[in-house]
Structure 1
């Protein structure tokens, strides 16, 4: 009998046209995903570069600001308001040249800080210092009073006893630290603090051996164990500008900001006509604030970037343009010398 059921058609699969369409769509999706991955990777790399630069710039700024705020601290309050000041060199290491003299009246101590202005003479111990750049040196006693005399480090001891014949001792020998505390008892000697001398300057290299690596770096030269030791603090610091606030009327507040207190600034500080700029040591002793400005750059170049911008660090002329592939940013802060200005305000 004839069947009324229609014949079944066999499954023949994809046609060549369908296969080509599917492959084309797949390739387009892979290309889009690849482009997205590359763009994301580049953005992530730039984000990491910028994050590192921000961290380096802020760390360099905070390191200098923290030391400026400590400058001039030689122990607990109690030193006379009228002190004589000495201006020791940043590379001085002998005890007699560090600026302390407890045989004078009034007591002689080093200035809280000093610096090298742009174009100034480079200190001999500032190895690989970039030509024409600035430097800052601070002097103070550590806040740690638990230090033990090592025989190689230098320490400060400030008397709190009215019967002591000396107010301050600067030495490295334990036999010379005989000042007493408030009870004037031999069983309670005065606090002992390690003496800190730290200088910040710029070098054109981080690792400066064999010609250097061309990485601008903020270096620190520190007085340790009787000698100056230099180390890299922050890489990628392109420039630093320091502007010093000088207290010309003795009230503790800066009356005029100058780039170099060691010279005659009467033409710049017109509001301080009664102040004499003739003594560099006195001028440095009257610095009560420092405006610190740092120019930080990325450690790695950015493909397709050309830095045509200029950067205002507070000088008469701006920095740049550098016309290279590194991105940069300026960081700035004002640091008060509380141990100098604060005493005058009181």
Structure 2
């Protein structure tokens, strides 16, 4: 008897293969969708966190700067006469720097006129100038070393006739780029027999904060920047990306006698109450607090999101007392407003009875 050794062969039909491929593609598509959505969500969370960090950092930076505005070691600039006109923020000559000493804080509302040492300033945003000495004296631990050619401030603590007892206020302090000319003393002095110890040197700073249209040239990322007075004039430094707008209201003390508390807030002390000339300069001198409003924006747009055609952002008051609202933008950038009320410690402290 002959046996057939052939065995039955089995396999998938073309229809079964097509069904399997289709199911596989559906699963891959679902997994891809989940991955893309998770990736977009992660990116959006990262953008939101970055915006929050940038907004808070920018507010803190400006808050700390304004708190220190007008710091001149042991010297009280209230003894100085006011300049006849508002100082030029970009001035670098020593005579101009000394003239500006009484004005610790100075602003420019909505970039109405742009200082010559600034560029790429975003239209409609405020500019604020802070003048002060560094709180860190040359030679102190962890402080910056002496920078040749930079301006330095020195306050006398001496009661000798040649210094603090002199009727000339200009002898109470020194401000120069040549530190060999800064020869004032601390309290332990009795010139000329016992010269005593020289008073510490503090780098003198003029910082101009503004909003630029770009971080790097042409990148379209609005950025908080600072122009810094140094050995070779002003140098602009980018500080915080994504800060799209800055609006500041200044608290002016108009009460007599002074109390160190703001009597009124205005976005433009240079025009408050229809002032002119020295009266306006006096308002700048009497700034004791400030309200800072910053609008922070994501650096990248969010897919599928729109800021809307009616959404606006409240940023304090305009100089005429009306609400200062920014927007609508009608784009795909997410935004948030950060606000801080700051006491200008040095001016307010001097005005406190």
| Aligned position for 1:328 | 335
Conserved? CA contact 2:66–2:342, under 8 Å: yes
**Structure 1-normalised TM-score?**
0.84
The residue aligned with 1:243 is 249
- Could you report, residue by residue, the CA deviation over 1:283-316 in whole angstroms, capped at 9, with x for unpaired residues? 0011000111000111011111111121111132
2: CA distance, partners of 1:323 / 1:80: 48
Q: What is residue 61 of structure 1 aligned with on the other side?
A: 59
Offset of residue 255 of structure 1: 1.4
Correspondence for 1:219: 225
Please give the alpha-carbon distance, in whole angstroms, between the structure 2 residues aligned to 1:36 and 1:80: 64
Alignment TM-score, normalising by the size of structure 2: 0.82
- Structure 2 distance, partners of 1:227, 1:24, is 70
Taking the aligned partners of 2:66 and 2:248, their CA distance within structure 1 comes to 11
Which residue in 2 is equivalent to 1:84? 81
Show the counterpart of 1:146.
Answer: 138
| Structure 1, gaps ≥5 residues long | 1-8, 101-107, 267-274
- For the 8 Å contact 1:154–1:226, the answer to whether it is kept is no
Task: Measure how far apart 1:24 and its partner are.
Answer: 5.2
Matched, 1:198 2:207: yes
In 1, are the aligned partners of 2:251 and 2:289 still within 8 Å (CA)?
yes
Preserved contact between residue 225 and residue 240 of structure 2 (Cα < 8 Å): yes
Residue 338 of structure 1 is matched in structure 2 by 345
Q: Contact 2:78 / 2:102 at 8 angstroms: preserved in 1?
A: no
Q: 1:74 aligns with which of 68, 72, 75?
A: 72
Give the 3-state SS of the residue equivalent to 1:118 in structure 2.
Answer: helix
C-alpha separation in 2, matches of 1:187 and 1:324: 65
The answer on 1:292 being equivalent to 2:284 is: no
Structure 2: gaps of 5 or more residues:
1-6, 140-144, 164-170, 318-322
Once the two structures are TM-superposed, the CA of residue 256 in structure 1 deviates from its matched residue by: 0.8
Q: Does 1:186 align with 2:191?
A: no
Shift in Å, 1:10? 8.5
- Aligned partner of 1:257 in structure 2 is 265
1:67-121 per-position Cα deviation (integer Å, ceiling 9, x unaligned): 1111000003x53754433442111000111134xxxxxxx83311101012521
Displacement of 1:131 after TM fit? 2.8
Q: How far off its partner does 1:55 sit? A: 1.7
SS at match of 1:43: helix
Task: Give the number of aligned pairs.
Answer: 319
| Alignment check: 8 A CA contact 1:258 1:265 kept | no
1:97 alignment partner in structure 2: 96
Given the superposition, is the C-alpha separation of residues 244 and 13 from structure 1 closer, same or farther in structure 2, using an over 3 Å criterion?
same
CA contact 2:98–2:175 (8 Å) conserved in 1: no
Determine if the alignment matches structure 1 residue 311 to structure 2 residue 313: yes
Aligned to 1:6: none
8 Å contact from structure 2 (residues 312, 328) kept in 1: yes
Alignment match of 1:169 (pick from 174, 178, 183)? 174
Q: What secondary structure, in the 3-state scheme, does the structure 2 residue paired with 1:42 have?
A: helix
Partner of 2:3: none
Work out the CA distance in 1 between the residues paired with 2:108 and 2:51.
26
Once superposed, what is the RMSD of the aligned Cα atoms?
2.6
* Offset at residue 277 of structure 1 (A): 9.2
The reply on whether 1:118 has 2:110 as its aligned counterpart is yes
